[in-house]
Structures are given as structure tokens and as C-alpha cells.
Amino acid sequence: MKNSATLLITCPDTKGIVAAIADFLYQHNANILHADQHQDAENSLFLMRVEWDLKDFSLDEASFAEAFQGIAKTYKMTWELKLSKDKPLMAIMVSQYDHCLADLLHRYKITSFNVKFLSLLVII
């Protein structure tokens, strides 16, 4: 199972954000697995999602917030850190299309979904 962290960021768009985040992760021995960024020109917003391997990463969840605080403050970021080990709860609602339910349950079984099932609601 993958042991990674994902950082979700929203902030005013300005130069240097990607470099600052990449450098921060590099300085703490992160191996970036995936990164996406988007600029919303109409609202002058920058959005980013970056995922990295936690194998050799030098910060734990508690110390990450303290260490990242300087960058977050500089760029006026709203951010959220998610760890792959923390599984979100999921409810499934299905109607008469049983093949969709079968597909979802199969994906769960082969660990394509990293979730905990909370409930199943079948509408007939």
C-alpha cells in the first residue's frame, strides 16, 4: 500500500509558489510522485495538489505544519495535508443498475479505492 502525503493549496497567484513548495519538499527529503497546478486568472488564484512518498521524508504530520508555516504565510495560502493512511468514509447509493454496484465493490476489493465503507443504500 502506498505511503504518501498530499498537499492541497489555494492562494493568490504570484511568481515563485511552485519553486518554494518544491524546494521545501526537497529540503525535507521528499520524493514527489505527482504534482498538478492551475491558475484561475479570473479570480487571480493559484491552486495546487502535490503528492510525495513518505518513505524518507524527514517531517511527521505534526512538525509539517510548523515547518510549512513560513511558506504558507508568505504566499497567504490556505492548505490541507492528507495522508494516504487516513481513509475517508464513503457511502454508496445505487438504484436498479446492479452492475455499477458490482464494479464499485470490485474496485474496493482490489484496493483501487482507499476508503472505508460507511453504508450502502439500495433504492429499488
Extents of the domains making up the chain = 4-83, 89-122
| Cα separation, 27 vs 37, whole angstroms | 20
**What does CATH list as the number for 4-83?**
3.30.70.260
Contact present, 5 and 51 (Cβ < 8 Å): yes
Most confident of 97-101, 104-108, 112-116: 104-108
Q: Are 124 and 98 in contact (CB under 8 A)?
A: no
Q: Grid coordinates in use for 105?
A: 465493490
Task: Say if residue 112's pLDDT is above 70.
Answer: no
Q: List for the chain the helix, strand, coil content (%; round to 5).
A: 30, 40, 30
* pLDDT value, residue 72: 97
Q: C-alpha grid cell for residue 9?
A: 493549496
What's the pTM?
Answer: 0.74
**96 has a pLDDT exceeding 70:** no
